[in-house]
Structure 1
Amino acid sequence: MTAGFIEARCGRRYASGWPGRVVVRGQSEARRHLASLDPTHVLSLKAPGLSYLGPRDLAPDRHLVLEFDDVDDPASLAAPTREHVAAARAFADGLPADARLLIHGLQGVSRAPAMAIGLLAGLLPTNEAAAAVRACCSQPPSPNRLLVALFDEELGLSGTLMEACDTRFVPGSGTLRRRGAQASTNFAFDMLKGCEAAVDEAP
């Protein structure tokens, strides 16, 4: 079984009540398992010029598509920007309290986990946002560093979100860093609410 929806139990919510209930998948998984995941809203991340093969036939107010490449260099032609971050945060601000947000990129390993971390960082302390995301990913995440940095800047976190991700993830490896006691966090997974109905079988 793969990871299902998580929810940040911190008392904070986005403008319309969304408590950070989120799951991360790759494009193929998102399309094939849409019925079993049963999201109310979808945030799709796609590369410019590539065909979109993710979930379709969603109401426009329930589906946000952002186009940018999975690159870490802000000078790259189709790099993520603060405008993408602002659009994602505005979408989150419009989600109701019962919303279940599915975020997907092409593989669900880099851009989508970074987006989830950034949105969770609007509710949770940075180390908890970084710790939480693995529980909602079906693949070991290696978050896109540029997108994380953009959220860090947008949220005024002074580099702490980047630091939290650098502590927890080995850049580019797609695996979690094994952390010693000195790098421990006070994050407890009882702060996350698993959504059993949203757990699907691994492809």
Structure 2
Amino acid sequence: MILIVCGLAPLPEVIAARRPSHVITLLDPATLIETPAGIAPERHLRLGVNDICEAAEGMIPPDETAVARILEFGRTWDETAPMVVHCWAGISRSTASAFALACERSPEVSELEIARLMRQAAPHAYPNRRIVALADDMLGRRGRMVDAVEAIGGNGWVSSGVPFDFPVRHR
């Protein structure tokens, strides 16, 4: 399984070079993009959510519906080609969503191991805690996903990430 996590700016290059079959876009509603060339519309999940963890006036936090849609969309992916998960900077919403997908696809791998693999691949990753907490509940992980992202710590306040592959080892 290869999930490619990136920000919006490198997305066209990533799609051209890696030819993913599926794309998840997590952007604020005002900057949602159309389906990129080369991706079938039914293989592009577009979610208009802000990168926040608590309600704030004029902003849309990730909610149960959004996280359920991410997990459901992930189940349509057969892993024959990579899936791209992107947000604005490739740091928070996208890494949280990729982490949730990896946890669901690898129930035999500990959440901490998956989080450490992400940290190893992306020192800039800082998964959105709200997305992680909602996915943790939905997947019945009993707080282990939340604990795992807390255990890997912060990212040193980087403002933009670089694309990275997030493979999860199946045991």
TM-score (norm: length of structure 2):
0.81
Is 1:126 the counterpart of 2:111? The answer is yes
Q: How many residue pairs are counted as aligned between the two chains?
A: 159
How far 1:114 sits from its partner (Å)? 0.6
Is 1:98 the counterpart of 2:83? The answer is no
Q: Percent identity?
A: 28
C-alpha contact 1:74 1:146 (8 A) present in aligned 2:
no
Deviations 1:158-202 (A, max 9, x none): 111111100102277359xxxxxxxxxxxxx9938xxxxxxxxxx
How far 1:37 sits from its partner (Å)? 2.1
Q: Which residue of 1 aligns with 2:151?
A: 167
C-alpha contact 1:24 1:136 (8 A) present in aligned 2:
no
Equivalent residue in structure 1 for 2:142, among 144, 158, 182: 158
Closer, same or farther: CA 68–109 of 1 in aligned 2, 3 Å: same
Equivalent residue in structure 1 for 2:68, among 74, 82, 86: 86
Distance between the aligned counterparts of 2:35 and 2:8, measured in 1? 5
Q: Which residue of 1 aligns with 2:44?
A: 63
TM-score (norm: length of structure 1):
0.69
Deviations 1:85-129 (A, max 9, x none): 111111111112413101100110111001011111112321122
**Structure 1 stretches of 4+ moved >6 Å:** none
Q: Which runs of 5+ in 2 are unaligned?
A: 160-166
Is 1:114 the counterpart of 2:96? The answer is yes
The amino acid across from 1:130 in the alignment is A
Is 1:48 the counterpart of 2:29? The answer is yes
Distance between the aligned counterparts of 1:42 and 1:190, measured in 2? 18
Is 1:148 the counterpart of 2:126? The answer is no
Closer, same or farther: CA 150–74 of 1 in aligned 2, 3 Å: farther
Distance between the aligned counterparts of 2:168 and 2:50, measured in 1? 34
Q: Tell me, what secondary structure is at the counterpart of 1:55?
A: coil
Distance between the aligned counterparts of 1:190 and 1:149, measured in 2? 20
Closer, same or farther: CA 55–131 of 1 in aligned 2, 3 Å: farther
C-alpha contact 1:149 1:159 (8 A) present in aligned 2:
yes
Distance between the aligned counterparts of 1:163 and 1:105, measured in 2? 23
Closer, same or farther: CA 106–151 of 1 in aligned 2, 3 Å: same
Q: Which residue of 1 aligns with 2:169?
A: 191
